[in-house]
Structure 1
Amino acid sequence: MAGMNIYSHANIVIVLFEVVFASLMVNAAAKAPIDMSTAILLRVDQAGHGDFNKIQDAIDAVPSNNSELYFILVKPGTYREKIVVPADKPFITLSGTRASNTIITWNESGGIFDSAALTVLASDFVGQYLTIQNTFGTGGRAVAMRVSGDRAAFYGCRILSYQDTLLDDTGKHYFKNCYIEGGTDFICGNASSLYEGCHLHSLSTKSGSITAQHRNSPSENTGFIFLGCKITGIGAAFLGRPWGAFSRVVFAQTYMSNVIIPQGWDDWQDPRKQRTAYYGEYKCYGPGADASKRVQWSHRLSQNEAAPFLTKDMIGGTGWLRPAPTNFKRRPGSIATVADENN
């Protein structure tokens, strides 16, 4: 080694760089789907006319660290299953035909991380046209869905329980045209999430809270944004209370029925959080949107203040939200189009 000249050193460095670069490219290729328009189709049918009778069996059939899209089509029925999408199975779409007739149901109370009917730990997950419910009732924490994977999107789903209905735990998430129902803290967690065109229905009869966002630091880019949504209910409810000291929730262009308590927001019996929580409203309307009795520590946002919350930029959605696949592979070498599957 003592006699090696500078050119030999340079050649070794170049070779090592090429090896490392090639390895990185292989790993990147292995993690990214090759064709975003084509998915491997797995069908779930309780009547035995699909590839699987249970949803969990279809998820288990997806290979670990898969690099292709998987589309699990769930035929109408009520599926009494406790379902987990593991962290090592990204790029899965779980789809019903209509939320009204494709139902995932469970009945369990306990910890918010353990009781969910559907737990999503994987990244790049899509759920659509499903009802996801926990039927335990009002006696304790009973999560319908826990979302702990990054880059998850939900379309046209119904998410139903009473306490802690949706644990919107961590990651960047998007909810479009979903119906979410509960009585106490029924949208909770520390994700960075945009809810667009969603219907929130409160079952609270006294002073339950719709949201309990868990942001713990001003450096965390997390929070819940409700854009163009609708709030209804049967009694009286707060818009939110701070699970975390720096809890952040914004309602924009949202209809609020008279279910909303006039002060709007609750400090969870900790006045110190009034200085750190960020609760904002922008161009909301309806009887529950009257600002005259709102707590002084909430914010009536100007157009400039609201602007960052009116797009998908906070969740980086333009970089990861994907269109539905148009082609489906039922088996190697066989392609089925959407039209074929609907017949």
Structure 2
Amino acid sequence: MAFRGSLFKFLVVITLYDAFLTVNSQAETTDPTKMTAAILVRVDQSGKGDYTKIQDAIDAVPSNNTELVFVLIKPGIYKEKVTVPADKPFITVSGTKVAETIITWNDSENIFECATFTVLASDFVARYLTIQNTYGNGAQAVALRVSGDRAAFIGCRIISYQDTLLDDTGRHYYSNCYIEGATDFICGNAASVFEKCHLHSVSEGAGAITAQRRESPAEDTGFTFLGCTITGVKTAVLGRPWGPYSRVVFAFSYISSAILPQGWDDWGDSSKQSTVYYGQYKCYGRGAITSKRVGWARSLTSQEASPFLTKDFIGAKDWIRPAPTSFRTASKPISHHSDGNN
């Protein structure tokens, strides 16, 4: 029995690499912007796909992967915590209907442990997914944690209450996403561009949309919001500083009256007023009026705003990749229901 179990494990490893191993050499020589073909893996709760769970599909990708892997999720409610490990780059996880493809969990542990969906890998893409943490008010409850470099989220819904999106480290791009929360619901120390996103505060009081954590002026991090829409059920501020050199810029964005006239909060530490970088450029709406902003907020000139007005802020030309144009299926998908003794 021991021999048969070892043989099964050996065959599993061989089959995984037959499905996923690239003919190219090292991962570091791969240019994501020129990768157009992908291995297609289907996740379907009814059992008609390759896997019934999202995590199983990700687990099947070999370490140090260098090929595009496109994990297609059939609509449904997936009650699972999902992690994309650091050694599994070049994965896309995609739904087809954002409102019908829901990844959900209910957790409120440590901010770095409670996320419904955690991305540790580089060169990750998510498309048309709803990612939510249903814990509610009262504790940190992250829906999405992004701690890998070069990650993009297209047309996703990210929903929780406190610390909804832990935009932790790396360079990230969010396009046409809906992000909802009440307290510091976009937080972390990544360098990120949010383009045409809808930020919605559900705070019953003076909640904060952002809590950016830049620790020193040497760090090239910060959040830039381009052409976004900001709404809320009551009142909120645009941000407060998690780190002393917190940096956030809103440009060309609609800001509703849900945003308080002062715009920003120093989190009870007036010393941060001289070190934070909170800017606004050509925004509009009743909440965009700058005449009553705190004295340490910036109304940016075109020259001051220029570095933040394109995706060059995150070096996007070098890594944001288009959707694949061709697919092939894994030749021998592995069943994760085997016990290893048959």
TM-score (norm 1): 0.88
Preserved contact between residue 34 and residue 67 of structure 1 (Cα < 8 Å) = no
Q: Look up the match of 1:70.
A: 69
Seen in structure 2, the aligned counterparts of structure 1 residues 49 and 26 have a Cα distance that, compared at 3 Å, is: closer
Tell me the residue number matched to 2:182: 183
**What residue number does 1:112 align with?**
111
Contact residue 30 and residue 67 of structure 1 kept, 8 A = no
Q: Counterpart of 1:16?
A: none
CA distance in 2: counterparts of 1:84 and 1:142, whole angstroms: 16
* Structure 1: segments with no counterpart, 5+ residues: 1-24, 334-343
| 1:228 to 2:227 alignment | yes
Structure 1 runs, 4 residues or longer, greater than 2 Å off? 25-35
Find out whether 1:240 has 2:239 as its counterpart.
yes
Matching residue of 2:120: 121
Q: Does 1:197 pair with 2:196?
A: yes
Query: Which residue does the alignment assign to 2:280?
Result: 281
Deviation at 1:292, TM superposition (A): 1.2
**SS of the counterpart of 1:186?**
strand
1:248 Cα deviation after fit: 0.0
Between the aligned partners of 1:259 and 1:110, the Cα distance in structure 2 is 30
Give 1 or 2 for the bigger CA radius of gyration.
1
CA-to-partner distance for each residue in 1:119-172, whole Å, 9 max, x for gaps?
000000000100000000002100000000000000000000000000000000
Q: Distance in 2 between matches of 1:66 and 1:154?
A: 20
Equivalences for 1:159-174 in 2 at 5 Å? 159-174=158-173
Q: How many residues align?
A: 309
In structure 1, what is the Cα distance between the partners aligned to 2:243 and 2:32? 36
Matched residues in 2 for 1:199 and 1:34: separation? 27
**Root-mean-square deviation over aligned CA pairs:** 1.5
CA contact (8 A) 1:255 1:285 kept: yes
SS in 2 for 1:57: helix
- Contact preservation (8 Å) 2:32, 2:321: no
- Structure 1 residue 331: deviation in Å? 3.4
The residue matched to 1:313 in structure 2 has which SS? helix
- Offset at residue 206 of structure 1 (A): 1.0
Corresponding position of 1:331: 330
Deviates more, 1:115-124 or 1:302-311: 302-311
Write out aligned runs for 1:228-307 (5 A).
228-307=227-306
**CA–CA separation in structure 2 for the residues paired with 1:147 and 1:29:** 21
Give the AA of the match of 1:251.
F
SS in 2 for 1:285: coil
Quote the Cα distance in structure 2 between the aligned partners of 1:134 and 1:127.
Answer: 17
1:299 and 1:32 mapped to 2: Cα distance? Answer: 38
CA–CA separation in structure 2 for the residues paired with 1:331 and 1:142: 36
| Alpha-carbon contact 1:35-1:68 (below 8 Å) kept | no
- Bigger RCO (CA 8 Å, 6+ sep): 2
Is the contact made by 2:192 and 2:222 (CA closer than 8 Å) also made in structure 1?
Answer: yes
- The equivalent of 2:96 in structure 1 is 97
The residue aligned with 2:39 is 40
Whether the 8 Å contact between 1:40 and 1:68 is mirrored in structure 2 is yes
Contact 1:120 1:148 in 2 (8 A): yes
Q: Determine if the alignment matches structure 1 residue 215 to structure 2 residue 240.
A: no
Give me the TM-score of the superposition, normalised by structure 2. Answer: 0.88
CA distance in 2, matches of 1:74, 1:267: 42
Moved more, 168-177 or 301-310: 301-310
5 Å matches for 1:4-19? none
The superposition leaves residues 59-92 of structure 1 with CA deviations (integer Å, 9 ceiling, x where unpaired) of 0001110110000000000000000000000000
Specify the code of the residue in structure 1 equivalent to 2:330: R
Q: Offset of 1:205 from its aligned partner?
A: 1.4
Give 1:32 shift.
Answer: 5.5
**CA distance in 2 between partners of 1:223 and 1:321 (Å):** 18
Distance between the aligned counterparts of 1:62 and 1:27, measured in 2? 16
Write the distance in 1 (CA, Å) between the matches of 2:266 and 2:157.
Answer: 29
